[in-house]
Copies of this chain bind each other. A is one copy, B any other.
Amino acid sequence: MSNVYGRSIKVSIFGESHGTGIGVIIDGLEPGLAIDMEEVNRQMARRAPGQKLGTTRKEPDQVEILSGIRNGVTCGTPICGVIFNKNTRSQDYEKTKLLLRPSHADYTGHVKYKGFEDFRGGGHFSGRITAPIVFAGALCRQALEQKGVAVGSHIVKLHHIEEDAFTLADLKAETLKELGTQQVPVLVQDNADKIAQCIESARAELNSVGGIVETAVIGVPAGLGDPFFDSMESRLAQILFSVPAVKGVSFGCGEAFAGMTGAQANDGYTVEDGQIRTITNNNGGILGGITNGVPITFKTVIKPTPSISRPQQTVNLDTMEPETLEIVGRHDPCIIPRAIPVLEAAAMIAVYDAWKEAGL
């Protein structure tokens, strides 16, 4: 499938960091959806570079819509959104193109594409290619919001700073909405400053840090997803693992399940307003691959940004000799603040796709 995601919708992406443009086609979105472009742009801005804690590059990331939306309303036909690339400093990369950047896709891309890959700025592997995912997700998000869905995330761990995972009590639309306005979304406000300091320290030390994001989607009905290969976990994990730097995905209690007993882990049932509901939500809203009507919660592990300016041991593709690489250029010491809107967009795409398929 390669560049296409979805079972009942199709999201096809393309683009290289320093090519002419990057973009996405979304097919299968319902006709008649009025798109709030300001809100789309707000989502794009959350991911865009040039923010306080991130890289100092500035990219407007303005999406030009080529098809499928007329007078601000979806036609039901494939929507193509394109971001034309500007402000690209290809020369930054030309100098070091033969030196494989550790933990980047330079080597694997080189093998897969036999040396014909566009290496500039990571090419097709650039985190920049997530901008079209945010665009596609922003459309799905607006469609889902009309059905009562809300999504939000907090940083549950960043290097040595940790906070508790969402409880069912946290999972209200207002809380999630509020988290969406914060650059460093946390449940315990103190942590925001600690995280900002930690990131700035990493920058000062020419280093980078990783962490874990927890995301919740509320308002999803029971019955989405399938047993086995198209389980709701499989669908979400497939698209979450397409986000660069993601190295782990877990649902509900996630790794904590490993230390729990069944008596602790099982979510008993009760009846609320005539509806069957679980009392706890250790399973993160998914059982047997199918949503159970309580919030979907998942954690995404983000590795430290590979681009660090310290000397690193690498190999020169041309000479096949070891060499020391010092990456220059503007990079995020922690990608998490900018990754969060991408993870949320990915979740919105997966949920929209599963919902449409369920025909509910």
Whole-angstrom distance between the alpha carbons of A357 and B4 in the complex? 15
A302 at the B interface (CB under 8 A):
yes
- Set of chain B residues within 8 Å of A238, measured between Cβ atoms: 229, 234-235, 237-238
Residues of A within 8 Å of B, CB-based: how many? 149
User: Does A75 lie within 8 Å of B2, measured CB to CB?
Assistant: no
Residue-by-residue, is A306-322 near B (CB-CB < 8 Å gives 1, otherwise 0)?
Answer: 11101011110100111
- Set of chain B residues within 8 Å of A14, measured between Cβ atoms: 25, 27, 66-68, 77-80
Q: At the interface with chain B, which of A50-58, A140-148, A176-184, A209-217?
A: A209-217
User: Does B1 lie within 8 Å of A230, measured CB to CB?
Assistant: yes
- Set of chain B residues within 8 Å of A226, measured between Cβ atoms: 2-3, 112
* Residue in contact with A207 in the complex, picked from B223, B237, B261, B320, CB distance below 8 Å: B261
- Set of chain B residues within 8 Å of A259, measured between Cβ atoms: 157, 159-160, 210
Closest to A133 in B: B228
A290 at the B interface (CB under 8 A):
yes
- Set of chain B residues within 8 Å of A357, measured between Cβ atoms: 8
* Residue in contact with A13 in the complex, picked from B78, B160, B274, B278, CB distance below 8 Å: B78
Q: With A114-B32, A210-B259 as given contacts, are A105 and B252 in contact (CB-CB < 8 Å)?
A: no
Residue-by-residue, is A277-319 near B (CB-CB < 8 Å gives 1, otherwise 0)?
Answer: 0110011101111111100000101111111101011110100
Closest to A5 in B: B229
User: Does A304 lie within 8 Å of B262, measured CB to CB?
Assistant: yes
- Set of chain B residues within 8 Å of A152, measured between Cβ atoms: none
User: Does A4 lie within 8 Å of B8, measured CB to CB?
Assistant: no
- Set of chain B residues within 8 Å of A113, measured between Cβ atoms: 31, 75-77
- Set of chain B residues within 8 Å of A73, measured between Cβ atoms: 116
- Set of chain B residues within 8 Å of A234, measured between Cβ atoms: 237-239, 241-242
User: Does A288 lie within 8 Å of B108, measured CB to CB?
Assistant: yes
User: Does B315 lie within 8 Å of A271, measured CB to CB?
Assistant: yes
User: Does A16 lie within 8 Å of B288, measured CB to CB?
Assistant: no
- Set of chain B residues within 8 Å of A4, measured between Cβ atoms: 4, 10, 12, 27, 229
Closest-CB distance, A17 to chain B (whole angstroms): 10
A329 at the B interface (CB under 8 A):
no
Residues of A202-247 at the interface with B, using a CB-CB cut-off of 8 Å, are 202, 207-212, 222-223, 226-231, 233-235, 237-239, 241-242, 244, 246-247
A175 at the B interface (CB under 8 A):
no
Q: With A27-B14, A247-B251 as given contacts, are A270 and B322 in contact (CB-CB < 8 Å)?
A: yes
Closest to A105 in B: B288
Q: Provide a sorted-by-A list of 24 A–B residue pairs whose CB atoms are within 8 angstroms.
A: A2-B226, A2-B228, A3-B12, A10-B12, A13-B229, A21-B66, A75-B116, A76-B112, A77-B123, A102-B267, A105-B287, A108-B222, A111-B222, A158-B258, A159-B259, A159-B260, A208-B261, A229-B239, A233-B247, A242-B289, A248-B250, A250-B250, A250-B301, A269-B314
The 8 A-B residue pairs whose C-beta atoms are closest, nearest first, are: A105-B288, A248-B250, A208-B262, A108-B290, A268-B313, A76-B113, A31-B116, A237-B237
